[in-house]
Amino acid sequence: DGGITQSPKYLFRKEGQNVTLSCEQNLNHDAMYWYRQDPGQGLRLIYYSQIVNDFQKGDIAEGYSVSREKKESFPLTVTSAQKNPTAFYLCASMAHTGGGNTIYFGEGSWLTVV
């Protein structure tokens, strides 16, 4: 089945550690996104990528890093520079739009700092 897979579903991080969240899609989509969602809040864009080997900062990129070495994969690293990383992280993808395509989401990853 086609879709987006995020892993792990739940992750605990000690303060000062970097952690990487995986996002894989087999939809052959060009664009991929990472969003952060805090409890009861909306989605805030962290990074997005329109094509392999290229990505752009979103609204809250500080403390995060990404790579896009393969079309199918867009991992997000939450670095120790991110002071408040506890949140729900959502990965998404979309075919190149021309203004009309739908964005598909993974099931999300919960990150908790302990």
Binding stretches for another protein (CB under 8 A): 4, 30-31, 33, 35, 40-45, 48, 50, 56, 58-59, 88, 90, 92, 94, 96-97, 99-100, 102-108, 110
* Closest CB 15 distance from another protein, rounded Å: 24
The least distance separating another protein from the CB of residue 89, rounded to whole angstroms, comes to: 11
Could you give the count of Cα atoms lying within 13 Å of 99 in the half-sphere of its Cβ? 0
Residue 10 vs 15, nearer CB to another protein: 10
Tokens coding 88 = 């729900």
Q: Indicate the residue among 45 and 80 with the shorter CB distance to another protein.
A: 45
Minimum gap (Å) between residue 81 Cβ and another protein: 22
Minimum CB distance to another protein smaller for 19 or for 32: 32
Structure token digits, residue 76: 């997000």
| Inter-residue contact 24 to 107 (CB < 8 Å) | no
CB of 31 to another protein, least distance (A): 5
> For residue 80, what are the contacts with CB-CB under 8 A and spacing of at least 6?
15, 16, 17, 18
What does DSSP say about strands 54-57 and 64-66: parallel, antiparallel, or unpaired? unpaired
